Chain A
Amino acid sequence: MSDMTQQRESLDVVVIGAGVVGCAAARELSRYRLSVVVCEQGAEAGQGGATKANTGIIHAGYDPAPGTLMARMNVRGNALYTGLCQDLGVRLDRSGTLVVALSQEDRPYLDALLARGRVNGVPGLCLVGHDELMKLEPNVHRQADSALFAPTGGAVEPYEVALALAENAARNGVWFLFDRAVSGLEPLDDGWCVHLGTQELRTRFVVNAAGLSAAKISQAAVPEKHFHMHPRLGQYVLLENRPEYDIRHPVFQVPGPTGKGVVVSRTPDGNIIVGPTAEDTDSDRDLATTDAGLRSVLAQAHRSVPTLDERLAITEFCGARAIIDERDDFLIEESAPGFFNAAGIKSPGLTAAPAIAEELVRLMANGGLELVANPAFIPTNEPAILFRDCRTEEQVQMIHENPAFGRIVCRCETVTEGDVVRAIHRPLGARTLDGVKFRTRAGMGRCQGGFCGPRVLEILSRELNVDPLLITKCGPGSEILATRLRPEGDSCA
């Protein structure tokens, strides 16, 4: 892969950023005969930005203001998700979403959402009364008044979508350069020179999908079209699921005086996620949760689902929406010849990503990119079959063929050594502990990697033939181990 930067000829497209938008764009481009490189400063796809820390809702599209790009991309993206998830073998739980009016005063808000949704072309929206709401969602607050039901709403594991898109793009010939931050851009006569520290790439087209850094990248390419961005933080608590507060449809609240109202949702993995907060900040401060933030999330979540038991918290995290100052919409355009911005991709960016990818390719075609179908394009990935999801006979067969499937590495999520080895050797396979976690769930359960961490580390080291001291959580700088206490090879484990 290192020779990618030694190339003589110009590439067709360089995509900056391997979040869900960059990955979707890369995959869309891989339908055509093009040379495409994705540069990502993080260690793996989907780990560097908003894509790894959001609610994972596939929004129906009643939220964005009519006429915005956001509204159009949302509804279109939502429609594309079913086919996309089928092709990529990604789990999509399309049970529909609910916006719950906790009291009668909330009703006008539901009416407004309903009207807006209809203008945006959201199919199937309807209001449900108290009784029907209780049938749909028995654990919602008993006094809840009514709800807006959006049957096309759903939930995914966002990292799963990004990883599957990236893998499929790679399968169809896209190159990914990880641990490589774009440090500058320089216009050339026939395209752009993309600087990666001391290395550079020449390309005809650039897609800027750098999330929160999109303003900086754009500034380097098109200084005259300056815009400023800031993070809007969103904190979450993830809980073990229990029947007393299980939720079948993501439950939104009507924004009230106490805040924007949080979502309570069940992830496809089966946990309960509650959040987010919405805190505008100016600094590039680390994505840190705060005591106050977590408390407010839980307090608000209890309003819609009073039985939530915070003692069963598994983990907490914080994501950052990429907000363009003074603009309540995505920015998707050719900002300079051959330079395409996909900036300000805040919520519903996950939902919109497949539509944004289509849009970018359409704009690039208008800008002169020749689209010749790639006859070898394969829309699907090799199925990622995990041991725990198999039927008994299949499990027996798996262990018979490969004994590593008979050794449990993660006891909370029943992940076997065979699953981990496979995750490492897939196209664009796992290189970090987080990478294994996002592909197999090893380390996502109750014990948060306490049990499986050392084992996964050992397997990564063995399979990648890398010194254990160099194995990281999420790329250089996040090494797990400091030094050896005994000579190499002297282990009693």
Chain B
Amino acid sequence: MKSDYDLIIIGGGPAGLAAAVGAVENGVHDILIIERERFLGGILNQCIHTGFGLREFGEELTGPEYAQRFEDRVLQAGISCLVDAMVLDVTRDKHVVVISPVHGRLEFTARAIVLAMGCRERTRGALMVAGTRPAGVMTAGTAQRLMNLEGYLPGQNIVILGSGDIGLIMARRFTLEGANVSAVLEVMPYSTGLTRNVVQCLNDYGIPLMLSHTVTSVHGAKRVSGVTVSEVDIGRNPLPGTEQDIACDTLITSVGLIPENELSRRAGVELDLATGGAIVNQRLETSVPGVFACGNVLQVHDLVDNVSEEARHAGANAADLIAGRLAPKQRTIRVIPGRGIRYVVPQYVDVHEADEHTVLSMRPDDVFRQATVEVVADGRDVPLARFRRRHLTPGEMVTVNVDSAVFRTCAQYVSVRVV
């Protein structure tokens, strides 16, 4: 196997696959995708429900179907894929160390790298949910894997903590398999998942969604026997006197995803505390030149269609870099989250004459109705761009397409705010 590639993509999920497609479309073919699992497709392989691809393909596909479309393109383009192979190390000078049962230890070098390792789920431990530590507490993604890939039901009486999308989808999945889901608890006063998932996964099956509630204690010595749940105040503190016990044998947690950036850290990539992902410019290039990031490793997405779009962009930019087509930047503008916004990606924009528009992705920090997202420059009052939205919620990522002229008129920074 050869050891030098123009582009190495770490992770063969939807982000990695679309990045490869983006690079090929931009003329780079010497690509290696490295994937830890035995199959390409990433998390989509266990998402056997439909709801994928409405934007990308204009039809509703299952996760595996959606992944297959991209896999076909990658294979048709003759891109090399190394599966059942885990990247152990990446260095600043784009040296990649991999191990695999078949090939042993491998080392590669690349001219550019795309990081597409996805994310992991936050756990009960990270949330500090008190109580005992029995079997039967698991993340929604683990339950999904057990049910959809391995064919086992991990429990019969289920309580779900967290109304993130995976939790909602698993509430329906458990119900369809004959298990009893007593409640989905959400500490916030609103669901953190997509509205369509609340409707299709809970309402349609009569599963109660208990907003402003959380699990305050887990019971059971060997296997979960129940949980205590409490209502919380706006500061998310449990309200004394509101405790109630719910009997169950399984507690499923769906309390957030964390970009999997251990490798990025090793490569010296600077991370954003708010996103948990790399700090990037509008080309999705990290603080390490030639290293790009996209998909859930960069920021947690709700829709795979957005992942594909972002990743294709990253791949195309990596190809431009490899081909020496990136125009030199003139200066750098920082992008800062303002009122009502938790984070914005990219975190900075390199100003180039040629750019026509720049996509900013962000999450609001609260629910807003009939709101406007404004881009303001250098602390001035008059917004340079405004985007009207009927409904903003932390559970749904917002993207706006900003005319790049905005950044050229700006001296140091822009901030993005909700009014």
B128 and A313 contacting across the interface, CB-CB below 8 Å:
yes
Q: 15 A-B contacts, Cβ less than 8 Å apart?
A: A238-B125, A288-B132, A289-B131, A291-B130, A291-B216, A293-B130, A294-B130, A313-B126, A316-B125, A396-B104, A472-B135, A481-B154, A482-B152, A482-B156, A490-B151
* Contact residues in B for A392 (Cβ distance below 8 Å): 105
Contact with A along B128-139 (1 / 0, CB 8 A): 101111111011
Q: Is A404 an interface residue (CB 8 A)?
A: yes
Nearest-neighbour CB distance to chain A for B145, whole angstroms, equals 6
* Contact residues in A for B103 (Cβ distance below 8 Å): 406
B residues touching A (Cβ–Cβ < 8 Å)? Answer: 36, 84, 86, 88, 99-105, 120-121, 123-126, 128, 130-136, 138-139, 141-142, 145-147, 149-156, 177, 179, 216-223, 238, 249, 258, 262
A453 and B102 contacting across the interface, CB-CB below 8 Å:
no
* Contact residues in B for A475 (Cβ distance below 8 Å): 222
Nearest-neighbour CB distance to chain B for A288, whole angstroms, equals 5
Q: Is A34 an interface residue (CB 8 A)?
A: no
B123 and A473 contacting across the interface, CB-CB below 8 Å:
no
Residue of B nearest to A487 (CB): B151
* Contact residues in A for B149 (Cβ distance below 8 Å): 491-493
Binds B, one of A130-138, A340-348, A442-450: A442-450
Binds B, one of A23-31, A114-122, A407-415: A407-415
Nearest-neighbour CB distance to chain B for A30, whole angstroms, equals 31
Question: Can you list the 9 inter-chain pairs with the closest CB atoms, starting with the nearest?
Answer: A315-B125, A477-B222, A403-B101, A406-B101, A486-B151, A473-B135, A478-B135, A478-B222, A448-B123
Nearest-neighbour CB distance to chain A for B331, whole angstroms, equals 32
B238 and A291 contacting across the interface, CB-CB below 8 Å:
yes
Q: How far apart sit A432 and B150, CA to CA, in the bound complex (Å)?
A: 19
A287 and B128 contacting across the interface, CB-CB below 8 Å:
no
Nearest-neighbour CB distance to chain B for A490, whole angstroms, equals 6
Q: Which of B36, B133, B156, B221 contacts A411 (CB 8 A)?
A: B36
B132 and A286 contacting across the interface, CB-CB below 8 Å:
yes
Nearest-neighbour CB distance to chain A for B272, whole angstroms, equals 14
Q: Is A366 an interface residue (CB 8 A)?
A: no
Residue of A nearest to B103 (CB): A406
Q: Is A290 an interface residue (CB 8 A)?
A: yes
A453 and B142 contacting across the interface, CB-CB below 8 Å:
yes
Q: How large is the interface on A (under 10, 10 to 19, 20 to 34, 35 or more residues)?
A: 35 or more
Q: Which of A447, A478, A493 contacts B150 (CB 8 A)?
A: A493
B155 and A482 contacting across the interface, CB-CB below 8 Å:
yes
* Contact residues in A for B221 (Cβ distance below 8 Å): 286-287, 477
**Known contacts being A453-B138, A486-B151, A492-B149, is A288 close to B217, with CB within 8 Å?**
yes
* Contact residues in B for A237 (Cβ distance below 8 Å): 128
User: Which A residues from 374 to 404 make CB contacts under 8 A with B?
Assistant: 392, 395-396, 399-400, 403-404
B84 and A484 contacting across the interface, CB-CB below 8 Å:
no
Residue of B nearest to A473 (CB): B135
Q: Is A227 an interface residue (CB 8 A)?
A: no
Q: How far apart sit A468 and B379, CA to CA, in the bound complex (Å)?
A: 60
B153 and A484 contacting across the interface, CB-CB below 8 Å:
yes
Q: Is A123 an interface residue (CB 8 A)?
A: no
Q: Is A220 an interface residue (CB 8 A)?
A: no
B151 and A484 contacting across the interface, CB-CB below 8 Å:
yes
A400 and B104 contacting across the interface, CB-CB below 8 Å:
yes
Nearest-neighbour CB distance to chain B for A365, whole angstroms, equals 39
B145 and A454 contacting across the interface, CB-CB below 8 Å:
yes
Nearest-neighbour CB distance to chain A for B13, whole angstroms, equals 14
A404 and B101 contacting across the interface, CB-CB below 8 Å:
yes
User: Which A residues from 456 to 475 make CB contacts under 8 A with B?
Assistant: 458, 468-469, 472-475
Q: Is A480 an interface residue (CB 8 A)?
A: yes
Contact with B along A288-301 (1 / 0, CB 8 A): 11110110000000
* Contact residues in A for B88 (Cβ distance below 8 Å): 414
Q: Is A479 an interface residue (CB 8 A)?
A: yes
Q: Which of A414, A448, A472, A490 contacts B124 (CB 8 A)?
A: A448
